[in-house]
Amino acid sequence: MPQLEELEKNLGVKFENLDHIKQALVHRSYLNEHPDFPLGHNERLEFLGDAVLELVVTEYLYNHYENPEGELTNWRASLVNAELLSEICQSLNVEDHLFLSKGEAKDKDSKARKYILANAMESIIGAIYLDLGWEAAKEFILRTVVSRLPGILEQRLYIDPKSRFQEAAQEKIGVTPSYKVISEEGPDHAKDFEVGIYLNKELVATGKGTSKHEAQVAAAEEAIRVKGW
């Protein structure tokens, strides 16, 4: 399977049973169009990988930092969230190897794709654990995920964007940001919100989301980028 050999190279892992890594790449939607596909979807591997990832990260933080539980919990959350896992998954060029339905394959820029990639990352960890054991899974996680920790701590990414922007605004100009809904569209069960973030009367940035909170977080992230804070 030359395609899987290329993926193994990207991951830095040599599998004993290629069916393990192949199954980690199978999204449920693919099986709807290919019912005769010999392997199942990756959700059970994702369940396994999620637990292995959390334990490796927890063990590393416990062994290397004396910080209180609350801080370590925030640091761990910043390492195992969908945003970071999907980004790591993309950096390993996993996306080109996924088994997706035609509809999912086309929908590259959606929020759903981010979660598909994050779930695939957890599935891959599950596949490594199943195929090669704890030490191999741990080495992979330390190399690909935990290696991001210094940057997260340096940029304080473990603090949510709204809190980060508020702290910076109060420190730099003595102003507390405010948020205002600019628009909302769609039916009640599927609304899209656009929210503006303001410093006094200055509109610094806007953000969109399927809830007001999500749109506020997106606006705060953009405001941090705009202000260079």
Catalytic residues: 50, 122
Say which residues have a Cβ less than 8 Å from residue 14's Cβ, sequence separation at least 6.
8
34: helix, strand or coil: coil
> If 0-12 CB within 10 Å is exposed, 13-18 middle and 19+ buried, where does residue 69 land?
exposed
Phi-psi region of 228 (alpha: psi -120 to 50; beta: other; left: phi over 0): left
Distances (CA, A) of 217 to 5, 92, 193: 39, 27, 12
Strand intervals (E) in the chain: 178-185, 192-199, 202-209
Alpha-carbon span 179 to 217, nearest angstrom: 10
Radius of gyration, alpha carbons of the chain: 20
Which one, of 94, 85, 97, lies nearest residue 144 by Cα?
Answer: 85
Q: Which helix (H) or strand (E) holds 9?
A: helix 2-11
- C-alpha to C-alpha distance for 87 and 98, rounded to whole angstroms: 15
